[in-house]
Amino acid sequence: MRFLFKTDYEDDIRLFPHSGYVVSYGILFALLLVAPYVLSSYLMSQLVFVCIYATVGVALLILTGFTGQASLGHAAFLAIGAYTAAYLQKYNVPFPVYFLAAGVLTGLIGALVGFPALRLTGIYLVIATISFALIVEEILARWESVTNGNEGMRVKALSLFGVAVPRDSPTFYFLCLAVLVLTIVGTLNLLRSPTGRAFVAIRDSETAARSMGVNVALYKVKSFAISAAITGFAGVLFAHKLSFISPEMFTLQLSIEFIIVILIGGTFSLHGAVLGAIFIVMIDPFLTYLKDDMPGIIAGVAAALGAGKERAAGIQSTVAAFASLNGLKGAIYGIIIMLFVLFEPLGIYGRWLKIKLFFQLFPLYKRATFKRQKIYVKSERNR
Amino acid sequence: MLDFVQQLVSGVALGCVYGLIALGFVLVYKATEVVNFAQGDLMMLGGFFAFTFIGMMGLNYWLGFAGAVAAMALFGMLAERVVVRPILGYPQFSIIMATIGLGYFLRSVAGMIWGTDDLKIETPFSQGVLRMGSLVLAYDKLSVIAATMILCTLLWLFFNKTTLGTAMRASSENMLAAYYMGIPVKRVVSIVWAISAAVATCAGVLLAPITFIHSNVGLVLGLKAFPAAVLGGFGSIPGAVVGGVLIGVIESMAGFYLAEGWKDVAPYIVLLAVLLLKPEGLFGLHVRKKV
């Protein structure tokens, strides 16, 4: 086990606490750089979605994970970013300009949503953000002169400094990756700045933060604005990746998916956003695999275990029927959410930390290290 | 003027639908401070149970109704035992997520079992209308209004006049202190989930002739009933019904007088406005935390 001796504040806030970080992230980065030349185009496309979802996940982490403000309305911010891009693109605005414009506009709207949120906590905040998202969805469907209503909008291929960047090209992937990496680095910097410290203070105890002189209202609005702006940037990439956007893509379902991203990944660290995004995006290929290959494999196993030929064929068709049931995805989603909330509230990254600690402390690991405290004395009405 | 009154009446009828579902939200919240996002889906499941008993097994309407309510009460207890009890005492958001997960699960499983078609139950109220002068009100809507009023009164009496109701309010205020006072908190929570599932089933069965039963009905109506509960102040049983009626009236007025599209948005705009002015809803208690 490695012990880090920190002798001054600079040591404490380093982005890479020791050389191991540089090596492992360097390897990861190199792998990501060669990925487009190795992986199939389908997996590359999924990887782009991972980047976009992870960017939104980071945004949501700033708001929910670090400031403690729940939001079930992030699909609306994504939609605003996407539609800004699509609308400005019609007037031949260059990409860097509308990319920034989408972020700024979404950030402003996020701040506007933040104001009512100042007085709301817990469940009231959740319902307020849901209402906001539903209103935005309806506006997108009705404001036909700008958004083209329910018919949706086509988004042309991205053009960067006069060069067209098709949505399947490696360049587009690198662009998404760059946005993700910049977002993560920016967020890490934010979190070690006074602003980020104030966010965490508000999450841990609003009353304590206020008594320490943190301007709670200001920082909550800031948190909403930053989170929304990052989601807006992701929205631009989302629009380009899909090349077609319509209001029914940005429903409550998508907001819930974003929450699932951070919930499954882990709400206490930025790793969580990326891991959760990988999980959510890869569930579709996994289900396809389940549908195509699983019945054959199970039948093979059954045959190997001594079941007769007809029996194996019967098993194969039963499994195939089960795997192609309508709504299997919803059921799997539901079960995954419940299992994570019940058994691994720290998410995938939390599980990774536990495994790591187990090997570091090998014979001395205690389960109680990560035990959560239950707080029964808690009426949110009296808070 | 007649249009206005007719819209008002149908708004109230619609609002009672929302109020009936909102009652379930409020019940669980009042007793455990848990917000059950799967409430609408419990309602949907109740409707399917009733359909199974009445439509498929051919039971008498009232017998099927009672059977569905009993079955769902048991199911509510089961859901509480499996999903909610292990995480009682943890931050509210994880419980919200768990119930969202439960909702997903119930929706898709119901879709798998009963298919995706709209199902219909023959009820004694399916046909006929009540005429008062030139006002028209269908019996199925009237039955919802009556049931909402009866259930609201019963639940209010239950919470305020019975020992069990008092125990529920106590355990919501401070679970640990309630436990020390000898209240069997776990059983109380279990019972309240059973009651709320039963109330949801009543809503589901009564709505069957109006909205039909399909696997997404819970999500759609739940999303409308939720603002109703918030508008009423979440902890208040009469508040839920008043909030529901408000939302219903706003919706039908907006649908009649304003341009297309306002109908679906107006309730949420009003909700946001109310939350801006009164963050605890119309009937909520506003208590500041003492440090």
User: Position of tokens 């008092």?
Assistant: B166
The per-residue pLDDT for B63 is: 86
> pLDDT grade, residue A380 (50/70/90)?
low
Closest B-chain CA to A137? B265
Q: Pick the range with the lowest mean pLDDT from A19-23, B62-66, B86-90.
A: B86-90
Residue A41 forms contact with B (CB below 8 Å): no
Q: Which of A270, A235, A281, A230 is nearest to A44 (CA)?
A: A281
Residue B107 forms contact with A (CB below 8 Å): yes
The per-residue pLDDT for A383 is: 44
Q: What residues of chain A lie within 8 A of the CB of B273, using their CB?
A: none
Tokens read off for A248 = 């029914």
Candidate from B104, B112, B265 with C-beta closest to A138: B265
Substitution target from B30, B87, B100 for chain A, most A beta carbons within 10 A: B100
Tokens read off for A163 = 């060069």
Residue B78 forms contact with A (CB below 8 Å): no
Q: What are phi and psi of B129, to 5 degrees?
A: -130, 155
Which one-letter DSSP state was computed for residue A372? Answer: P
| CB spacing of A331 vs B105 below 8 angstroms | yes
Residue B158 forms contact with A (CB below 8 Å): no
**Range of A12-16, A197-201, B111-115 with top mean pLDDT:** A197-201
Per 3-state DSSP, chain B is made up of helix, strand and coil in percentages (nearest 5) of 75, 5, 20
Q: Residue A56, Cβ neighbours under 10 Å: how many?
A: 32
Number of residues assigned to chain A: 383
The per-residue pLDDT for A60 is: 93
| A17-42 pLDDT, tens digit each | 888 888 988 999 899 888 888 888 88
Residue A150 forms contact with B (CB below 8 Å): no
Q: Which of B74, B104, B69 is nearest to A329 (CA)?
A: B104
The per-residue pLDDT for A382 is: 47
Q: In chain A, how long is the greatest CA-to-CA distance?
A: 75
210-269 in B: which are within 8 Å (CB) of A? 215, 223, 226-227, 230, 234-235, 260-261, 264-265, 268-269
Residue A15 forms contact with B (CB below 8 Å): no
| A256-291 pLDDT, tens digit each | 889 888 888 888 888 889 999 998 888 888 877 877
The per-residue pLDDT for A207 is: 85
Q: How far apart are CA A17 and CA A14, in angstroms?
A: 6
Does residue B280 or residue A145 have the better pLDDT? A145
ipTM score:
0.83
| CB spacing of B88 vs A134 below 8 angstroms | no
> pLDDT grade, residue B287 (50/70/90)?
low
Closest A-chain CA to B291? A207
Q: What is the mean pLDDT of residues B252-279?
A: 81
Q: How far apart are CA B244 and CA B41, in angstroms?
A: 18
> pLDDT grade, residue B126 (50/70/90)?
low
User: Position of tokens 């705009």?
Assistant: B269
How far A208 CA lies from chain B's nearest CA (Å)?
9
| B183-197 pLDDT, tens digit each | 998 888 899 999 999
| CB spacing of B102 vs A338 below 8 angstroms | yes
Q: What is the mean pLDDT of residues B264-291?
A: 73
Q: What residues of chain A lie within 8 A of the CB of B93, using their CB?
A: 64, 70, 122
Answer whether residue A90 shows pLDDT above 70.
yes
Q: What is the mean pLDDT of residues A114-121?
A: 79
Closest A-chain CA to B279? A120
Closest A-chain CA to B86? A342
Q: Which of A113, A69, A59, A79 is nearest to A262 (CA)?
A: A59
> pLDDT grade, residue B97 (50/70/90)?
confident
Q: What residues of chain A lie within 8 A of the CB of B116, using their CB?
A: 326
CA angle B53, B59, B60 (to 5 degrees): 125
Q: Pick the range with the lowest mean pLDDT from A73-87, A186-200, A282-296, B32-46.
A: A282-296
Q: Tell me, what amino acid is at B148?
A: T
Candidate from A119, A127, A329 with C-beta closest to B226: A127
| A33-77 pLDDT, tens digit each | 888 888 888 888 889 999 999 999 999 999 988 988 888 889 999
Q: What residues of chain B lie within 8 A of the CB of A338, using their CB?
A: 83, 98, 101-102, 105
How far B105 CA lies from chain A's nearest CA (Å)?
4
How far B136 CA lies from chain A's nearest CA (Å)?
31
The per-residue pLDDT for B288 is: 53
Answer whether residue A379 shows pLDDT above 60.
no
Residue A283 forms contact with B (CB below 8 Å): no
User: Which residues are B129's β-sheet partners?
Assistant: B138
Half-sphere exposure of B138 (CA within 13 A, CB side): 16
| A171-193 pLDDT, tens digit each | 889 999 999 999 999 999 999 89
Tokens read off for B14 = 């619609």
Q: What residues of chain B lie within 8 A of the CB of A331, using their CB?
A: 104-105, 108-109, 112
Beta strand B135-138 pairing with B129-132: antiparallel
How far A174 CA lies from chain B's nearest CA (Å)?
34
Residue B279 forms contact with A (CB below 8 Å): yes
Does residue A82 or residue A284 have the better pLDDT? A82
Q: What residues of chain B lie within 8 A of the CB of A212, using their CB?
A: none
**Range of A108-112, A302-306, B121-125 with top mean pLDDT:** A108-112
Tokens read off for A196 = 């980020």
Closest A-chain CA to B268? A131
Q: How far apart are CA B214 and CA B106, in angstroms?
A: 12
Closest A-chain CA to B92? A122
Q: What residues of chain A lie within 8 A of the CB of B272, using their CB?
A: 116, 128, 131-132, 135
Q: Which of B264, B142, B137 is nearest to A252 (CA)?
A: B264
Half-sphere exposure of A29 (CA within 13 A, CB side): 9
The per-residue pLDDT for B273 is: 84
Chain A with chain B: Cβ pairs closer than 8 A: 163
Q: How far apart are CA A327 and CA B113, in angstroms?
A: 11
A211: exposed, middle or buried (Cβ count in 10 Å: 0-12, 13-18, 19+): exposed
Closest B-chain CA to A120? B279
| B104-117 pLDDT, tens digit each | 899 888 888 887 77
Residue B59 forms contact with A (CB below 8 Å): no
